[in-house]
Amino acid sequence: MFTFARRELLGALFLAGLLVAGLLLRFVLLPDKEQEIVLVQPTEQQAPEEEKMIVVHVSGAVKNPGVYTLPDGSRVFEVIASAGGALPEANVHALNLAEALFDGKKIVVPGAKLQEGEGQTVPPQDGRININSATAVELEKLPGIGPARAGAIVREREKNGSFRQVEDLARVSGIGSKTVEALREYVAVH
């Protein structure tokens, strides 16, 4: 095999010692510094979004009828509670207590003498049809609305909640902006 002279052997041992010393120095005495993670706070604090509010009129068999301001997305039962609750003679089961409210809505809490479905909303006084409470048969009286479209309006209302404005009719399949404009004078949203 290989034979080394004494001088070569000492040189090889010296180099091996330097290598071991370098490795010890690198990994034992001077370990890796962990990378420091610095989280930078945003300099501009975002203001919390203001909660959108709606105004609802509640009347009928409640303790304190009137106009109430509630957070958007509130339900009928919440506006009744805001009005001090229903009177003992109230027929609250005639209402859909889980119905989502929208700005400008009027809720009439019927008394015990009224039958279910009566007094739920105030019908328009000018002969317009309330698209949020009209039946499919009533909706067919509108110009350009046949049984299929009337049924589509009722299904959309049941699936996605009350219409907040007349323009929301455009979310019904088969009703475009021209039809909405043509219906504007014949319909109301209450």
Q: With contact defined as beta carbons under 8 Å apart, do 67 and 83 qualify?
A: no
In degrees, rounded to 5, the angle at the alpha carbon of residue 103 between the alpha carbons of residues 93 and 156 is: 65
Q: Phi and psi (nearest 5°) for 55?
A: -115, 125
Distant-in-sequence, close-in-space partners of 114: CB < 8 Å, separation ≥ 6: 91, 94
Could you tell me if 136 and 104 lie in one domain? no
Q: Which of 123, 143, 142 is nearest to 133 (CA)?
A: 123
- At 167-186, the pLDDT tens digits run 988 888 888 888 888 888 88
Could you tell me if 137 and 182 lie in one domain? yes
- At 91-109, the pLDDT tens digits run 888 888 888 888 888 888 8
Q: Is residue 179 in a domain?
A: yes
Q: Is residue 35 in a domain?
A: no
Q: What is the CA radius of gyration of the chain?
A: 37
Residue 49 or 88, more confident: 88
pLDDT at position 36 is 64
pLDDT at position 124 is 47
What gap in Å lies between CA 129 and CA 153, rounded to an integer?
A: 13
Tell me how many domains the chain contains: 2
Strand order in the sheet with 66-71: 66-71, 53-60, 106-109
Could you tell me if 136 and 103 lie in one domain? no
pLDDT at 69 over 90: yes
Q: Is residue 182 in a domain?
A: yes
Q: Is residue 14 in a domain?
A: no
- At 108-138, the pLDDT tens digits run 888 865 444 444 444 444 678 888 888 888 8
Could you tell me if 102 and 133 lie in one domain? no
**Domain CATH code at residue 83:** 3.10.20
**Domain CATH code at residue 158:** 1.10.150.280
Give the residue numbers spanning the domain of 61: 53-109
Q: With contact defined as beta carbons under 8 Å apart, do 94 and 118 qualify?
A: yes
Could you tell me if 66 and 99 lie in one domain? yes
Question: What would the mean pLDDT of 15-32 be, rounded to a whole number?
Answer: 81
Confidence of residue 79 (pLDDT cuts 50, 70, 90): very high
Q: Is residue 104 in a domain?
A: yes
Could you tell me if 105 and 140 lie in one domain? no
pLDDT at position 78 is 93
pLDDT at position 16 is 92
In degrees, rounded to 5, the angle at the alpha carbon of residue 182 between the alpha carbons of residues 54 and 156 is: 55
Q: Is residue 158 in a domain?
A: yes
